[in-house]
Amino acid sequence: MGVSGTGKSTIAKGVAQALGGRFLDADDYHLPANEAQIASGKALDDAMQSEWLDRVSYEVLRVGMLSRQRVIFACSALKHAYRDRLRSKLGKIPIVYLSGTRALIKARLAQRTDYLIPATLLDSQLADLEAPSEEEGALICDIAQPPEQIIAEICRSLQDAALSRGAKIG
């Protein structure tokens, strides 16, 4: 999770590949009204977010059941309430928070073309961000690190968590 430009899709794809899981991008499940709102440079309100998060949860469950694989998904989930909504549908899920400076994120967004979330929404996303803490059970990763290093850190953390529960990852 994190604001646009933190590398959520790149990192989640890498983790899914490393663990033999399936990748989903939550942005693929926006309703047309949400996409229009975003395209006009306006942030989604809580009601729009809730409907979207419910669609994402449904797809995560559906794909997981059909494929019988772990599903790793990239989702902004900026507020505690949004993460709680996901947990209410998906159960206890690991949260990885991709964190970076505004300057780094803005520079990354400036390099993007043909992307759903315009760079003009960065400030509103940062204003909405309720960063998870380690107390919330989140793994916090600095996006200044190379993607391969972040992916390896996440995989180690998931493996450690699984071992402490007596489960196997992958």
Q: What is the pLDDT of residue 34?
A: 87
Q: Is residue 115 part of a domain?
A: yes
Looking at residue 43, its pLDDT comes to 84
Residue 1 lies in a domain: no
Residue 3 located in a structural domain: no
Residue length, the chain?
A: 170
Residues of the chain with pLDDT under 70: 113-116, 118, 162-170
The pLDDT score that the predictor gives to residue 91 is 94
For the CA atoms of the chain, what is the radius of gyration? 15
- Residue 15, in any domain of the structure: yes
Give CA–CA dist 112/95, Å, rounded.
25
* 51 CB-near residues (< 8 Å, 6+ apart): 31, 34
User: Tell me, what's the pLDDT at 163?
Assistant: 59
Tell me if 61 is assigned to some domain: yes
Where is 125: in which H helix or E strand? Answer: helix 122-128
- Tell me the CATH number at 74: 3.40.50.300
CA angle 170, 142, 93 (to 5 degrees): 40
State which residues form the domain around 37. 8-165
| Domain-embedded: residue 56 | yes
- As for how many domains the chain has, the answer is 1
Query: Cα torsion for 133, 137, 140, 146, to the nearest 10°?
Result: -170
Instruction: Give the pLDDT score at 42.
Output: 87
